[in-house]
Amino acid sequence: MKKILAFVAVIIVIYSIYIDLNFGTIPAISHASEVKENTKPSTAKKPFSYKEIIIKPGDTVLSVVEEVNKIPLSVSIDKVINDFIQLNNGIKPEEIQIGQIYKIPLY
């Protein structure tokens, strides 16, 4: 009797694996792709305001941003860095030089 129950259990497991692999139990991805097709990504970037600052010895991008905005930052450090790079034609924060003028984003 145990052998018959084990055999039936194995058949049920094999059948369920067959159904799952061939037909699946998760809805088709086509629904998600329909939603993607209807949404249009925004290509226009919002211009943000900035202030031009001359870098002094000991300045970092984050310290200057905090000094210019005069409040604790409400945005992430990654956003500050990306905005700085975008405003300054690809110059990274670690590449700033003393005495040079850089655009600092205002938040």
3-class secondary-structure state, position 53: strand
pLDDT of residue 58: 94
pLDDT of residue 19: 84
> Total domain count for the chain?
2
Q: Is residue 43 part of a domain?
A: no
pLDDT of residue 98: 94
Q: What average pLDDT values come out for the chain (107 residues) when binned by 10 residues?
A: 93 90 68 50 64 94 91 86 94 94 92
pLDDT of residue 46: 57
H/E run at residue 54? strand 50-54
- Residue 19: which domain range? 2-38
Specify burial of residue 31 (Cβ count, 10 A radius: 0-12, 13-18, 19+): exposed
98 and 56 in one domain? yes
8 and 28 in one domain? yes
54 and 21 in one domain? no
60-90 core/surface letters (b: 16 or more CB in 10 A; e: else)? ebeebbeeebeeeeeeeeeebbebbeebbee
pLDDT of residue 45: 59
